[in-house]
Structure 1
Amino acid sequence: MPMEEVSISVPGGKSMRAEVATPAGDGPHAAVIVIHEIFGLNDDIRAKAEHLAGRGYVAVAPDLFSILGRKPLCVVRAMQSLRRNDGPAFEGLEAARGWLAARPDVDASRIGVIGFCMGGGFALLFAARAPLGAAAVFYGDVPKDETPLEASCPVVAGYGGRDAVFGRFAARLEDHLNVLGVENDIKLYPDAGHSYMSEHTGLMAKLASWGPMKVGFDPAAAEDSWRRVETFFAEHLGGE
């Protein structure tokens, strides 16, 4: 299912670049916002959107960097927005949600979000800011206090146990959601590192392999994570 490039209006008269994968059939379908890693909207994120479309979801992948200025400034601005839980990146996500809700082939009551690394942090916070049915969070940042998650929809998440930076957030996220009474399915994969669901190639793969996060694709953890996401989304969004 090839991706289609689209333009989504955001506040301030700007436009955000995005790509959408559409399932077969007339719908109305459930839909998912796919939030990219720090590497941006690349082939790996496109593959994830296409994977979801193959399971019956309209999947839109917004390019958050397209509204945040030139690299590397856009990366800095994205991380600032994430730390503040506010700003243009969240405006872009809400614009993507509204764009999906307005499509005739989407059931506006069945929209979810999935994010990876930086996108996982955005997905977690956006899950408590927007009317969503479910959120999938993979190796994303988790706030120290549970307050920003008080209005969260149900959350499924995965972290790598070999990731010395983000792996510890699995227990924190589970604790926060349990305190708040939010339905959740959080799993730590002891043999996986950071970004274990992404098949990076070339320079990105070389850069990603450095450091304490033990970045690398883990087929077993990725397969199990997709199984959990598909089950969780089917329950809460009514997809396939």
Structure 2
Amino acid sequence: MPKVSYPAPAGVLRGYLAVPPTDGPWPAVIVVQDVRGMTADLRRISDRLAAAGYLTLAPALYSRGLRIKCMVSTIRTHFAGTGDSFDDIVAARDHLLADPRCTGKVGLVGFCMGAGFVLQLSPSGLFDASAPNYGLNPKNIDALAESCPVVASYGAKDRITRTGSAAELEAVLAKGGVARDIKEYENVGHAFMNDFGIPAPFTVIERLAAMSYSEPEAEDAWRRILSFFEEHLS
């Protein structure tokens, strides 16, 4: 497994680094995890981006200390809008930019909680494009009028992300003239791009939260992300 460690303000953090099979240099992408952490799905996503030609780093946000403590702290940071997890993601950017194989362009991809982090970081001026997928819009959503280019995907049957989030994001990005591709898929709910392969005891929770992988919509979302990144990160 391509494990990596990199320095961050709160201490060294582990991650998963996926390297393209072609000759570099390459643009870079940071993949921000959902609440489950460093899953096989997160590694597959990172590998997919690397196969498309992006030097890809997925920070393991729960790797600095006891997992449950890290999880609670990361979730709190997500809602607070500040804290170590934001610093960890920015430090991942700095780590990639210091890699001679990186072209100097860095994008962000996130899912669920990770998409929330991505949305909050998109106006920071630190990233060249972002792809938040079914994330909660930040309280200070008006800041996204100054965002980097955004490609975002939502499910109309999502019971976690608030109804109208896609339209709300589209409106604020349009107000700022931000390059964007925002799409809400009618027949899917939360986490439709994440193929977790969840064991049987969790399927009831999945159904209650309208969480289910759907390949047609997931593949269309991936087509849009890769096309958007090709335009804004190349």
From the superposition, tell whether residues 138 and 208 of structure 1 become closer, same or farther in structure 2 (CA, over 3 Å).
farther
- State yes or no: 1:97 paired with 2:86: no
What residue ranges of structure 2 are gaps of 5+ in the alignment? Answer: none
TM-score normalised to structure 2 length: 0.93
Match in the other structure for 2:7:
9
Percent identity of equivalent pairs: 37
- State yes or no: 1:50 paired with 2:65: no
Measured after TM superposition, the shift of residue 207 of structure 1 is 5.9
Match in the other structure for 1:28:
25
From the superposition, tell whether residues 144 and 9 of structure 1 become closer, same or farther in structure 2 (CA, over 3 Å).
closer
1:88-237 correspondence runs (5 A): 88-108=84-104, 110-166=105-161, 168=163, 169-203=165-199, 205-206=202-203, 208-211=205-208, 213-237=209-233
Letter in 2 for 1:147: D
* Separation of aligned partners in 1, 2:17 and 2:204: 28
Measured after TM superposition, the shift of residue 78 of structure 1 is 1.3
* Separation of aligned partners in 2, 1:210 and 1:71: 26
Measured after TM superposition, the shift of residue 167 of structure 1 is 5.4
CA contact (8 A) 2:18 2:47 kept: yes
TM-score normalised to structure 1 length: 0.91
The CA deviation string for residues 144-182 of structure 1, in whole angstroms up to 9 with x for no partner, is 442332431000000111112315211111112112221
Letter in 2 for 1:136: A
Which segments of structure 1 move beyond 4 Å, counting only runs of 4 or more? none
Measured after TM superposition, the shift of residue 184 of structure 1 is 1.1
CA contact (8 A) 1:167 1:188 kept: no
The CA deviation string for residues 130-156 of structure 1, in whole angstroms up to 9 with x for no partner, is 421110010011024423324310000
What residue ranges of structure 1 are gaps of 5+ in the alignment? Answer: none
Letter in 1 for 2:62: F
From the superposition, tell whether residues 105 and 18 of structure 1 become closer, same or farther in structure 2 (CA, over 3 Å).
same
* Separation of aligned partners in 1, 2:130 and 2:142: 17
* Separation of aligned partners in 2, 1:49 and 1:25: 15
User: Aligned residue pairs: how many?
Assistant: 232
Please give the root-mean-square deviation of Cα atoms over the aligned residues, in Å: 1.6
* Separation of aligned partners in 1, 2:12 and 2:204: 31
CA contact (8 A) 1:160 1:167 kept: no
Measured after TM superposition, the shift of residue 38 of structure 1 is 0.4
